[in-house]
């Protein structure tokens, strides 16, 4: 009996690991296979109930509200409890079915869940600027600005904090590739020092799986600051800093891709493969990952 329980526990943990580590937009495909492999619906259901909420919050999954009034980002910054998530732009709370990845109902936020008018002035101005930036930069991006500290502040003289969440995904499973961009920016308004401090974390994930399995998962963090200004001026300054750091990061990623033939790809295989034919490193950009390289090296003939 004890052995059966231990085996059951191991199956559950293995299932949870595969579910929580699924690439962007692919957890439902992984779940279908995991259910089949586990062969025990009860064990699978327990694993899914724990794994899906973690996955949805980690990947900043965006769900459409039932009344189509807007979208809600599944993030800890808007989490009221395990199933309810606050959307500050529409001032609504959406109830989420994590496993099905849908919103089941929506309600107006209560007065206690909303920030003061003073905080909302700053939050709304910042939300408007960030929305314009995300609309110009990420074709399928969604953003939201949450007050994470000091939401009851009524006027100048006290500190408060926001979290800016940006989520964008390009899912194309029919073309064997999916990708996501996630960034979270913590913004501290320090009234006593008349400064605004910015801390950000950016994360990129990509999965290419046509005749292979190539994944990218990379992230970076940064800091910046500006002076404490009016809501509108602060919003412009903060958004410009975000634009600068995210553009800089994307540029560095593009530069690293150009260096792949001379760095990463060389580390993936030995200098002289079993075919005794040197790989043409000087001309790698003309090959695809699979068919062209196979043809060039004469592998599988």
**Which residue intervals of the chain bear CATH 3.90.1150.210?**
115-258
Task: State the chain's mean pLDDT as an integer.
Answer: 88
Q: What is the pLDDT of residue 277?
A: 62
* Higher-pLDDT residue of 293, 85: 85
**The CATH number of domain 61-110, selected from 1.10.1240.10, 3.10.20.30, 3.30.1140.60, 1.10.10.10:** 3.30.1140.60
Q: What is the pLDDT of residue 298?
A: 53
Name the CATH architecture for the domain at 115-258: Alpha-Beta Complex (3.90)
How much is the pTM?
0.85
- For the record, the structure tokens of 110 come out as 């209560």
CA-based angle 112:54:220, to the nearest 5? 95
Q: What is the pLDDT of residue 299?
A: 52
The tens digit of pLDDT for each residue in 51-105 reads 999 999 999 999 999 888 889 999 999 999 999 999 999 999 999 999 999 999 9
The tens digit of pLDDT for each residue in 279-291 reads 565 565 555 555 5
Q: What is the 3-state secondary structure (H, E, C) of 27-79?
A: HHHHHHHHHHHHCCHHHHHHHHHHHHHHHHHHCCCEEECCCCCCEEECCHHHE
Sequence-distant (≥ 6) Cβ neighbours of residue 223 within 8 angstroms: 197, 198, 199, 200
List, in sequence order, every residue forming a beta bridge with 16; answer none if it has no partner: none
Q: What is the pLDDT of residue 175?
A: 87
Q: What is the pLDDT of residue 209?
A: 86
Looking from the CA of 18 toward its CB, the CA atoms found within 13 Å total: 17
The tens digit of pLDDT for each residue in 178-230 reads 999 999 999 999 999 999 999 999 999 999 888 778 888 999 999 999 999 99
Rounded-to-integer distance, Cα 97 and Cα 120, Å: 29
What is the DSSP secondary-structure string of 242-263? HHHHHHHHHHHHHHHHHTGGGT
- For the record, the structure tokens of 300 come out as 């599988």
Query: Does residue 1 carry a pLDDT above 80?
Result: no
On whether the CB atoms of residues 179 and 162 are closer than 8 A, the answer is: no
**Which residue intervals of the chain bear CATH 3.30.1140.60?**
61-110
Burial 214-238 (b: 16+ CB within 10 A, else e): eeeeeeeebebebebeebeebbbbb
Query: Does residue 271 carry a pLDDT above 90?
Result: no
């Amino acid at each position: 009996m004890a052995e059966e329980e231990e085996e059951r526990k191991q199956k559950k943990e293995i299932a949870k690991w595969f579910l929580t580590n699924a690439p962007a937009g692919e957890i439902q495909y992984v779940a279908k296979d995991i259910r089949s492999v586990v062969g025990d619906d009860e064990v699978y259901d327990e694993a899914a109930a724990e794994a899906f909420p973690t996955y949805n919050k980690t990947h900043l999954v965006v769900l459409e509200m039932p009344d189509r009034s807007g979208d809600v980002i599944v993030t800890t910054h808007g989490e009221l409890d395990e199933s309810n998530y606050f959307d500050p732009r529409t001032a609504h709370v959406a109830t989420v079915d994590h496993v099905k990845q849908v919103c089941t109902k929506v309600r107006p936020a209560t007065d206690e869940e909303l920030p003061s008018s003073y905080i909302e002035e700053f939050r709304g101005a910042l939300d408007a600027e960030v929305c314009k930036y995300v609309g110009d930069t990420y074709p399928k991006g969604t953003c939201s600005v949450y007050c994470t500290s000091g939401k009851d502040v009524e006027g100048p003289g006290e500190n408060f904090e926001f979290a800016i969440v940006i989520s964008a995904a390009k899912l194309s499973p029919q073309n064997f590739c999916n990708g996501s961009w996630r960034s979270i920016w913590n913004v501290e308004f320090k009234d006593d020092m008349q400064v605004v401090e910015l801390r950000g974390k950016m994360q990129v994930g990509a999965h290419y799986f046509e005749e292979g399995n190539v994944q990218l998962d990379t992230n970076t963090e940064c800091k910046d600051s500006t002076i404490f200004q009016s809501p509108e001026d602060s919003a412009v300054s903060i958004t410009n800093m975000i634009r600068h750091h995210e553009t800089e990061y994307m540029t560095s990623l593009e530069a690293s891709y150009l260096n792949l033939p001379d760095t990463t790809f060389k580390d993936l295989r030995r200098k002289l493969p079993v075919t005794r034919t040197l790989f043409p490193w000087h001309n790698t950009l003309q090959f695809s990952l699979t068919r062209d390289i196979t043809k060039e090296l004469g592998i599988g003939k």
